[in-house]
Structures are given as structure tokens and as C-alpha cells.
Amino acid sequence: MSAPHPSSSSGSRSPALQSLNSLIFLSRWLQAPLYLGLIVAQAVYVYHFMVELWHLVLKTTSIQETEIMLVVLGLIDVVMIANLLVMVIVGGYETFVSRLHLENHPDQPEWLSHVNAGVLKVKLAMALIGISSIHLLKSFINAEKLTDKVMMWQVIIHMTFVISALLLAYIDRLVTPPKGGH
């Protein structure tokens, strides 16, 4: 028979070790200001979105279709970045700092009920691919203003995001196989 593990019973831990453990566990709260900072960054994106939308509305009668597409793609890009921020803020806080206790809230995001660090990484990678796709589409629309070398590097960077996301998803699948044997 082996002796019980020192951490299996709080009575067997020294006060110094208990204090260290408590301090380490409490250190997760140092991330809370980071998430608050991301909320401020999201507010900046909302302001930027509204300014760009207002400029689009003001130019409605004098703007070319290509310019409309570029502005709308820019707006979509801002929305996708805002979605990425929400995933990081809500998912990261829930995963690494404290539970939000939204189980019965009617607006709880569906993905939040099964988020963990691996799922969050894959979702973030997919969001980055979406953002990269928008940038690539904007580049293709403006292709005459860019060199072949710039376009090539943008495609290479985009494909790097795609391959990275696929590898992250594959690794997550290996580490945590799906429930039910599927």
C-alpha cells in the first residue's frame, strides 16, 4: 500500500504550501484586467465600424461599386474581429478565470457550454482564417494596385493559417476524441 499523496488531504499540507497553492490559484485573476482591456478594444472597433458605415452612407450617391465592396468587406472584417474578441473574452474568462454561470441564460452562446482550451484555440484559428479570407478578397479586388510578390505572400500567409487550423483541430481531436465514438 502506498502513502496518500500529499495534496490528497488538506490536513497533511503545511500552511506555507497551502498559502502558495492559494496564491497560485488566485493569480488567475490577474487575467481579468486583460479581458477588460479587450472589451475596451471592442468598443474601439464598434466606434470604427460606425464611422466607416456613416462614411459609406454619406457617399451613397457618388461611390463606385468596387469601393462599396471594399468598404463592406472592411465592415465585415471589423465584425469578424469583434466576434473573435467575444470568443476570447467570454471563452477565455470562462476557461481560465471564473465560471460565468450562464447555463439558464437565454442568450448563452451555444459554443460556451462545451468550451475548453483546445476548442477555444480551434475556434480562434477558424476566426483568423475568416479574417484572413476577407483581407485576401480585398487584395484580389485591388489586385491592380498590388505586386505579384505581395499577393503571393498574402496567399502563403493565408494558407499557413488554414494549415495551422487544420493541425490544431486534428491535434485537439487526438487529445480529446469525440464523445459517443463518432
Domain count of the chain? 1
Averaged pLDDT in 10-residue chunks for the chain of 182 residues? 49 84 91 94 96 95 90 90 88 85 80 74 85 89 89 94 91 78 51
- Residue 33: its pLDDT value, please? 94
Which helix (H) or strand (E) segment holds residue 72: the answer is: helix 65-86
**pTM as predicted:** 0.71
In a domain, 25, yes or no: no
Q: Cα separation of 49 and 58, whole Å?
A: 14
In a domain, residue 6? The reply is no
Specify if 18 maps to a domain. Answer: no
Within a domain: 48: yes
Q: 17 by DSSP, 3-state: which?
A: helix
Confirm whether 23 is domain-assigned. no
> Cα–chain-centroid distance for residue 4?
41
Cα separation, 176 vs 16, in Å, equals 36
pLDDT at 1: 47
Domain of 143 in residue numbering reads as 32-181
Distance CA 78, CA 138 (A): 13
CA angle 127–133–139, rounded 5-degree value: 145
Rounded distance between C-alpha atoms, residue 131 and residue 135, angstroms: 6
**Residue 21 included in any domain:** no
CB 26 within 8 A of CB 98: no
Tell me whether residue 171 is in a domain.
Answer: yes
The CA-CA-CA angle for residues 141, 143, 147, to 5°, reads 155
One-letter identity of residue 101: H
User: d(Cα 132, Cα 158) in Å, to the nearest integer?
Assistant: 6
What gap in Å lies between CA 34 and CA 50, rounded to an integer? Answer: 25
Kindly state whether residue 67 falls inside one of the protein's structural domains. yes
